[in-house]
Amino acid sequence: MGRTFRIKVRMRRFRRSHPRIAFAIRSSMIFSATFGAAYGFITGSRAENSGYDPNAFAIGASFLFALACLGLATLSMRLRFVNKRMRKLAVHNEALIDRNWELKEAEERARSLFESQGDLIVLRDHQSRITFANDAYCALAGEVRTALVGTRFDFDVLEQGDSARESNGTRIHDQKIATHLGARWIAWREGYVRLDAGQPAELQSVGRDVTDRTETERALSDARDQADAASRAKSRFLAMASHEIRTPLNGIMGMSGLLLDTTLTPEQTTYARAVKTSGEALMALIEELLDYSKIEAGKLDFELRPFALSTLIEEITELLAPRAQAKNLEIAAYVDERLPLEVMGDAARLRQVLLNLAGNAIKFTASGGVALIVEPGIWPNEISFLVRDTGIGIAPEAQSRIFREFEQADERVARTYGGTGLGLAISERIVKRMGGRITLESEPGRGSTFEVAIPLAPSQGGAGQTTFPSPELAGKSILLIADGIEASLIARRLERWGGQTCMISDAAVAEALLPERSWHAVLIDRALGTAVADRLGEVARTHATQRLVLLTPSSRHEKLCPAFTGYLVKPLRAASLAARLALTPEVISPDLAPEPVEPAEAGAAPAKGLSILVAEDNEINALLMRSLLTKLGHRVVIAVHGEAALESWLAASSAGASYDLVLMDIQMPQLDGIEASKRIRAHEARTGGRRTPILALTANTLVEDRYACFEAGMDGFLIKPLDREKLDEALAGLAAARHLVL
The CB-of-418 to ligand ADP minimum distance in angstroms stands at 7
Cα distance between residue 12 and residue 409, in whole Å: 100
Q: Which of 289, 312, 392, 524 binds ligand ADP (CB under 6 A)?
A: 392
The CB-of-439 to ligand ADP minimum distance in angstroms stands at 13
The CB-of-373 to ligand ADP minimum distance in angstroms stands at 15
Q: Which of 596, 591, 594, 597 is nearest to 561 (CA)?
A: 591
Cβ closer to ligand ADP: 278 or 467?
A: 278
Q: Would you call 391 helix, strand, or coil by DSSP?
A: coil
Q: Which of 422, 426, 427, 392 is nearest to 407 (CA)?
A: 422
Counts for the chain of helices (H) and strands (E), in that order: 20, 23
Cβ closer to ligand ADP: 120 or 331?
A: 331
Cβ closer to ligand ADP: 376 or 421?
A: 421
Q: 543: alpha, beta or left, given left = phi > 0 and alpha = psi -120 to 50? A: alpha
Cβ closer to ligand ADP: 203 or 398?
A: 398
Q: By CB under 6 A, is residue 448 in contact with ligand ADP?
A: yes
Cβ closer to ligand ADP: 394 or 740?
A: 394
CB atoms under 10 Å from CB of 678, counted, come to 15
Cα distance between residue 492 and residue 340, in whole Å: 19
Q: How far apart are the first and last CA of the chain?
A: 129
| 635-639 sheet: strands from edge to edge | 635-639, 611-615, 661-665, 694-698, 716-719
Cβ closer to ligand ADP: 211 or 399?
A: 399
Contacts (CB under 6 A) with ligand ADP, residues 335-374: 356, 360-361, 364
Cα distance between residue 499 and residue 486, in whole Å: 17
The CB-of-562 to ligand ADP minimum distance in angstroms stands at 42
CB atoms under 10 Å from CB of 551, counted, come to 21
Q: Which of 287, 296, 292 is nearest to 230 (CA)?
A: 296
Cβ closer to ligand ADP: 342 or 428?
A: 428
Q: Which of 350, 371, 394, 478 binds ligand ADP (CB under 6 A)?
A: 394
CB burial of 495-511 (b: ≥16 within 10 Å; e: otherwise) equals ebbebbbbbbeebeebb
What DSSP letter does each residue of 53-120 carry, written as one string? -HHHHHHHHHHHHHHHHHHHHHHHHHHHHHHHHHHHHHHHHHHHHHHHHHHHHHHHHHHHHHHT-SSE
Site string for ligand ADP, 613-632 (x = CB under 6 A): --------------------
Site string for ligand ADP, 660-689 (x = CB under 6 A): ------------------------------
CB 189 within 8 A of CB 172: yes
Cα 263 to Cα 253, 259, 272, 389, 485: the distances in Å are 17, 8, 12, 42, 43
The CB-of-450 to ligand ADP minimum distance in angstroms stands at 7
CB 493 within 8 A of CB 482: no
The CB-of-227 to ligand ADP minimum distance in angstroms stands at 24
CB 479 within 8 A of CB 504: yes
Cα distance between residue 260 and residue 256, in whole Å: 6
The CB-of-444 to ligand ADP minimum distance in angstroms stands at 9
Cα distance between residue 509 and residue 532, in whole Å: 12
Cβ closer to ligand ADP: 387 or 454?
A: 387
CB 636 within 8 A of CB 626: yes
Binding region for ligand ADP (CB under 6 A) out of 17-25, 307-315, 342-350, 405-413: 405-413
Cβ closer to ligand ADP: 214 or 420?
A: 420
The CB-of-409 to ligand ADP minimum distance in angstroms stands at 3
Burial (CB < 10 A; 0-12, 13-18, 19+), residue 693, is: buried
The number of residues that bind ligand ADP (CB under 6 A) is 22
CB 459 within 8 A of CB 342: yes
The CB-of-525 to ligand ADP minimum distance in angstroms stands at 25
Cβ closer to ligand ADP: 242 or 356?
A: 356
Q: Which of 391, 484, 571, 716 binds ligand ADP (CB under 6 A)?
A: 391
Cβ closer to ligand ADP: 450 or 649?
A: 450
The CB-of-289 to ligand ADP minimum distance in angstroms stands at 12
The CB-of-419 to ligand ADP minimum distance in angstroms stands at 3
Cβ closer to ligand ADP: 357 or 482?
A: 357
Cβ closer to ligand ADP: 462 or 571?
A: 571
The CB-of-339 to ligand ADP minimum distance in angstroms stands at 24
The CB-of-391 to ligand ADP minimum distance in angstroms stands at 5
Site string for ligand ADP, 408-447 (x = CB under 6 A): xxx--xx----xxxxxxx----------------------
In angstroms and rounded to an integer, the radius of gyration of the C-alpha atoms of the chain is 53
CB 527 within 8 A of CB 485: no
Q: Which of 314, 389, 525, 660 binds ligand ADP (CB under 6 A)?
A: 389
Cβ closer to ligand ADP: 395 or 588?
A: 395
The CB-of-670 to ligand ADP minimum distance in angstroms stands at 17
Cα distance between residue 563 and residue 584, in whole Å: 15
Residues that bind ligand ADP (CB under 6 A): 356, 360-361, 364, 389, 391-392, 394, 402, 408-410, 413-414, 419-425, 448
